Amino acid sequence: MSPRSKTVAAWLAVLLGTLGAHRVYLHGWGDRWARLFPLPTLVGLYGAWRIDQLGQDDRLSWVLTPVLGLMITVAMLSAIVIALTPDERWNERFNVGRTPSAGGWGAVLAAIAALLIGGGVLMATIAFSAQRYFESQLEAPADAAAPSPR
């Protein structure tokens, strides 16, 4: 087996982390956690598609779309953790008996990109969820205060 590069793993987490590509790279196809990544990502993408097709008033998309934001945030957090792992610890964990690899500037740039993307997506997810929650709270009293037809 070839040595596992911290830079490659970090960039896989940034670019394809919502599908678990970084987990497959590090642990192989048999990794249980890698198999859990695609389903919530697809559920969140379905919610975003529903917003695009049905508009923002679709209540199911209110629940499904934040799942995509959370999956992106998890992937970016994984990229940051991978990129900031000390080289000695990285080599002990993933390169035992193989040629050690150093992270270098590629891993640092991946951490910076992940921090920017992850922070922005997390704030947007929280804002979207809070907006939808408070809009639903404003609609409920208006419906309850409407006079019933006789």
Residue 124 belongs to a domain: yes
pLDDT band, residue 59 (cuts 50/70/90): confident
Residue 138 has a pLDDT of 83
Residue % of the chain over a pLDDT of 70: 91
Residue 18 belongs to a domain: yes
pTM of full prediction above 0.85: no
Residue 137 belongs to a domain: yes
Residue 150 belongs to a domain: no
Residue 145 has pLDDT above 60, yes or no: no
Q: Quote the number of domains for the chain.
A: 1
pLDDT digits (tens, 9 = 90+) for 103-129: 789 999 999 999 999 999 999 999 988
Residue 58 has pLDDT above 70, yes or no: yes
What lies within 8 Å, CB to CB, of 10 at 6+ separation is: 22, 79, 82, 83, 103, 106, 107, 110, 111, 114
Residue 147 has a pLDDT of 63
Residue 150 has a pLDDT of 61
Side chain identity at residue 16, one-letter code: L
Q: Which two tokens stand for residue 41?
A: 């990502």
Residue 62 belongs to a domain: yes
User: What Rg, from alpha-carbon coordinates, does the chain have?
Assistant: 21
Residue 61 belongs to domain spanning: 6-145
Residue % of the chain over a pLDDT of 90: 63
Residue 1 belongs to a domain: no
